[in-house]
Amino acid sequence: MRRHVTPLRTAGAVVLLALLAGVVLWATPSGAFPGTSNQYILLPDVAHPVAPLVQVQGARPGKPGKLYFVDVIERRASTLEALFPSIHPNATLVPADAIVPPCSSDAQAQTAALQEMAFSQRVAAAVALRKLHYHVAVTPTGVAVSQLIAGTNAPCNLQPADVIVAVDGKPTPTPEALHAALGDVKPGAVVRLRVRRASKLLTVPVRTVEAGGRALVGFVPDQSATIKLPFRVAIDSSGIGGPSAGLAFALEVMQKLGRNVLHGHHVAATGEIQLNGGVAPIGGVKQKTYGVREAGADVFLVPAGQNAREARRYAGPVHVIPVRTFDQALHALATIPRA
How many domains are there within the chain? 1
- Express each pLDDT in 297-339 by its tens digit: 999 999 999 999 999 999 999 999 999 999 999 999 999 876 5
Q: What's the pLDDT at 208?
A: 96
Which residues does the chain have with pLDDT short of 50?
A: 1-3
Q: What's the pLDDT at 16?
A: 59
CATH number at residue 160: 2.30.42.10
Q: What's the pLDDT at 110?
A: 84
Write a three-state SS string for the chain.
Answer: CCCCCCHHHHHHHHHHHHHHHHHHHHHCECCCCCCCCCEEEEEECCCEECHHHEEECCCCCCCCCEEEECCEEEEECEHHHHHCHHHCCCCEEEEHHHCCCCCCCHHHHHHHHHHHHHHHHHHHHHHHHHHCCCCCEEEEEEEEEEEECCCCCCECCECCCCEEEEECCEECCCHHHHHHHHCCCCCCCEEEEEEEECCEEEEEEEECEEECCEEECCEEEEEEEEEECCCCEEECCCCCCCCCCHHHHHHHHHHHCCCCCCCCCEEEECCEECCCCEEECCCCHHHHHHHHHHHCCCEEEEECCHHHHHHHHHCCCCEEEEECEHHHHHHHHHCCCCC
Q: What's the pLDDT at 219?
A: 93
Q: What's the pLDDT at 30?
A: 65
Please indicate, yes or no, if residue 84 is contained in any of the structural domains.
no
Please indicate, yes or no, if residue 90 is contained in any of the structural domains.
no
Residues spanned by the domain of 218: 137-228
Q: What's the pLDDT at 151?
A: 87
Please provide the average confidence, as pLDDT, over all residues in the chain: 89
Please indicate, yes or no, if residue 184 is contained in any of the structural domains.
yes
Please indicate, yes or no, if residue 58 is contained in any of the structural domains.
no
- Express each pLDDT in 224-266 by its tens digit: 999 999 999 999 877 788 889 999 999 999 999 999 999 999 9
pTM: 0.87
